[in-house]
Structure 1
Amino acid sequence: MDKANADFTPIFDGQTLAGWHAVPRLPVSRAPGGPEPDRTTETYRRAAQTTGSWTVEDGALTGRQDPPGCGYGGYLLSDGVYGDFELLFEACPDWPADTGILVRASALGSQGYQILLDHRRSGNIGGIYGNGIGGFHGINFTIDAEYDEQGRPIGLRLEDPATTIEPMTPDKTALLNDAASGEQFLSIWRWNEWNEFQIRVEGALPKITVHINGVKMTEIDTAAMKHPSYRQDEVLALLGPQGHIAFEVHDNDPGMGDARWGPNAACRWRNIRIREL
């Protein structure tokens, strides 16, 4: 695809957050119609009080926890809503930074189809997760970091299945129509550099295709997909045929703590462009 194609329109100006707005990363039901979160808890109250920190640094949209290390995240949503489209952008995450890009997202941000950018232990990059729409997890591998003698992360490797905290099970890969191997992913991923994502979303219950650095990572057809907690009619009623684009700063949790999002971690996005289909 010609990245200079005039059909692609910038939706981030590289200088301000014009066209975008931040919302809290609130807990939601795992699927439409499921049990609602308890809004009286301290966790919910604190989550509602922060939207993360979103700044523009050296031409890149940059997301952090606010304040750093607080353990609570947020979303940055496009003001506009989009139906069928192709999205191009570059991303550069710190380690560890558990983030993602939601498409067809609701106004809450917490509900939509998430393209994973889980740049942390037991994470996946390029897979698809059903945020608040069934919790399905379409992935084909998990990753961990390589460390030097001083304990500093220096690159990615495939995770040892014996030590994972999120087991890679066959049902996850079965959700995908097409998927690159972990070895293919490692061969094209650029550690501590910019990586280009191309995401195509098409259909009321969308077919989603993800390329990273020109290599096809995943394809999923959510109209035909089978998963015990994913009910197409209820998801379509919740999200509709259009939604926001959302970037995520993840919360921490008792299980992973700051191994999910480092105290001073950030993720950065730039050159964000869209072509409506």
Structure 2
Amino acid sequence: MDAGRLDEGLVSLFDGESLAGWHTAPRTYGTLWPGGPEVGEVLPLADGYFDDAVEFEAVWAVVDGAIEGRQDPRKRGFGGYLVTDQTYGDFELILEMRPDWPADTGVMLRRSSDSWAGYQVLVDHRESGSIGGFFGHGIAPFHAVPFALNVERDDSGEPIGLIEDDPATSVEPFTEDKRDLLVEAGSAAEFLAAWKWDDWNELRVRMTGAKPRISTWVNGVPVATLDAATLEYPHYDADAALELLGTRGHIALEVHDNDPLVGEKRWAPTSACRWRNIRIREL
């Protein structure tokens, strides 16, 4: 994954003062893949989930020059997206992120304007999470990651840094077949050496092609590359994904909901994700 030049043609997507150029959307679900079952048919969502997800969607604000996303304090457990008004095709996206622990967030790419579908760069800053890997929303639920993460705690139980997840105690075990979905996969050791705990970290994403090739770097360290044209995964069809998403789509930041499988280990009541210095170069 060639780092390339980062200093030409970058346009800011965030003015540091307002959410101009962005709009909010609730985190609701659709089908698992084009023509497939609804997520609610396979995931045990609570009665009234979809109504509550709309009424209590994530709260977004600008705080100290950064975008901050939280679950709605009136009724926690539901998520949402902050979505660019404009759509983008091929691009390089560079931003800084600072998620609390635990906060399961991410960056949606080529997100549809009227559904949850799109490619997601994971920023799962929680137990057994992945940062810089990929997930398929509405195009087949592939989980393409090079490694999984957990947290190191001090003697009082306070989190003090990231470590590699232990498969023996994992809530979402990492398996080599997840790594094999990637055409390039970075090492946990290099990622952990570069990650800055309780501080700002830079995420860079490069996305090119109608059936896109997507690469990620964190603090300049290569993390993962997905080739959507050659990806093989149950129910994933590159042509169907292209027909659904097209060659352009929205970019979106995520606040995850607390699903019945992981609960508050996915998003703690006091957690927030923060984003700043969001810049893009169209290719």
TM-score class normalised by the smaller sequence: over 0.9
Task: Report the alpha carbon displacement of residue 229 of structure 1 after superposing the two structures with TM.
Answer: 1.9
Q: Which whole-Å CA distance do the structure 2 matches of 1:213 and 1:116 have between them?
A: 15
Letter in 1 for 2:111: A
Query: Does residue 249 of structure 2 align to residue 243 of structure 1?
Result: yes
Q: How does 1:207-218 map onto structure 2 within 5 Å? A: 207-218=213-224
Picking from 30, 40, 62, the partner of 2:68 is 62
Counterpart of 1:229, as a letter, is H
- Whether 1:229 aligns to 2:218 is no
Alignment of 1:158-177 (within 5 A): 158-177=164-183
In 2, are the aligned partners of 1:68 and 1:263 still within 8 Å (CA)? no
Structure 1: unaligned runs, 5 residues or longer: none
Give the 3 Å change call, closer, same or farther, for CA 171–11 of structure 1 in structure 2: same
Cα distance in 2 for residues equivalent to 1:188 and 1:271: 19
| SS of alignment partner, residue 191 of structure 2 | helix
Which whole-Å CA distance do the structure 1 matches of 2:115 and 2:192 have between them? 30
Q: TM-score, normalised by structure 1?
A: 0.96
Structure 1 position 43, deviation (Å): 1.2
Report the secondary structure of 1:93's partner residue.
coil
Which residue of the partner structure matches residue 202 of structure 1?
A: 208
Is residue 103 from structure 1 mapped to residue 109 from structure 2 by the alignment? yes
Local SS of the residue matching 2:240? helix
Tell whether 2:27 aligns with 1:21: no
1:10-59 Cα shifts (integer Å, max 9, x gaps):
01111000000000100211111112347994112211223301000111
Q: What is residue 135 of structure 1 aligned with on the other side?
A: 141
Tell me if the contact between 2:212 and 2:228 (Cα under 8 Å) persists in the aligned partners: yes
Q: 1:187 aligns with which of 189, 193, 201?
A: 193
Relative to the length of structure 2, the TM-score reads 0.94
Paired with 2:261 and 2:53, the residues of 1 have a C-alpha distance of: 17
Moved over 6 A (4+): none
Q: CA deviation at 1:68?
A: 6.7
Deviation at 1:109, TM superposition (A): 5.8
Cα shift at 1:181: 1.2
Other-structure match for 2:279 = 273
What is the identity, as a one-letter code, of the residue corresponding to 1:202? T
Q: After TM superposition, list the pairs within 5 Å mapping 1:244-259 onto structure 2.
A: 244-259=250-265
**Inter-partner Cα distance in structure 2 for 1:4 and 1:109:** 34
Single out whichever of 93-102 and 47-56 deviates more from structure 2: 47-56
Q: How many residues align?
A: 276
Q: 37, 44, 53: which one pairs with 1:35?
A: 37
Deviation at 1:67, TM superposition (A): 1.7
The whole-number CA distance in structure 1 between the counterparts of 2:46 and 2:170 is 33
Q: Residue 90 of structure 1 aligns to a residue in which SS?
A: strand
**Cα deviation code 1:148-185 (max 9, x no counterpart):** 12211110111111011112122111110111111111
Once the two structures are TM-superposed, the CA of residue 108 in structure 1 deviates from its matched residue by: 4.0
Q: Is the 8 A contact 1:75 1:109 kept in 2?
A: no
Tell me, what secondary structure is at the counterpart of 2:193?
helix
Unmatched 5+ residue regions in structure 2? none
Could you list the per-position Cα deviations for residues 162-210 of structure 1 after superposition, in whole angstroms to 9, with x for gaps in the alignment?
Answer: 0111121221111101111111110110101111111000001100010
Identify if the C-alpha distance between structure 1 residues 220 and 269 changes in structure 2 by more than 3 Å, giving closer, same or farther: same
SS in structure 2 at match of 1:208: strand
Find the aligned partners of 1:230 and 1:167 in 2 and give their Cα distance.
22
Partner of 2:10: 8
